[in-house]
Structure 1
């Protein structure tokens, strides 16, 4: 689920930059947007591949949880300080759900 979410949100700016900026707000450094989008796309693809192949190792889990936690911190801090639009708080909520699902999946395996 996380892999698909990250892959879609990662490729979005490459496919239609105008709609991405319309939703998320104006950007000063488009090169930085593309850099982050490329990383999110690649990580999303790796997470999606691991899930589909049922090869979710501890490293994959930590990549998913750690990446989501990092995005939560950035989303919340910068949205609450009026640097980015509040729409990013929805992403923080989605990332929180993703982390909870990682832990729920672990409990399910026991």
Structure 2
């Protein structure tokens, strides 16, 4: 049986991870200017890799402890960092939208496990 939380989070991470790699101009229009585009693309590749792993696990219905940890920790970490750096005016407030999505993933994981 497929696991929706892993599948949905995985696809979300995959799409948002490859976005700056495939179309950096539109990514910068939404998220604001960046100076180190190589770093944006590096984070994008890492996020896409996490997303691919989660999506595959979700598709196969394989919720082992490593997959659960990857899903919860990546969502919690991204959400916390985005909130922290928006509060300090380092990144654009639009990142709070993603932080909210990450919170939804964490809560979904907790509900799924509870």
Deviations 1:36-61 (A, max 9, x none): 00000000000000000111111100
From 87, 99, 110, the equivalent of 2:106 is 99
From 30, 37, 50, the equivalent of 2:37 is 30
**What residue in structure 2 maps to residue 14 of structure 1?**
21
1:93 CA displacement:
0.4
* 1:5 equivalent in alignment to 2:31: no
Please state whether the residue corresponding to 1:21 is helix, strand or coil. helix
1:106 CA displacement:
1.6
| Greater relative contact order (CA < 8 Å, ≥ 6 in sequence) | 2
Q: Distance in 1 between matches of 2:69 and 2:31?
A: 27
Q: TM-score, length-normalised on structure 1?
A: 0.94
Q: TM-score, length-normalised on structure 2?
A: 0.91
Corresponding pairs, count:
107
Q: Distance in 2 between matches of 1:7 and 1:56?
A: 18
Return structure 1 stretches of 4+ with deviation > 6 angstroms.
Answer: none
Alignment of structure 1 residues 78-93 onto 2, 5 Å? 78-93=85-100
Q: Distance in 2 between matches of 1:62 and 1:98?
A: 12
From 67, 74, 77, the equivalent of 1:67 is 74
Deviations 1:13-67 (A, max 9, x none): 1111100000001011011101100000000000000000111111100111011
Considering only aligned residues, what root-mean-square deviation do their CA atoms show, in Å? Answer: 0.7
Unaligned regions of 5+ residues in structure 2, if any? 1-7
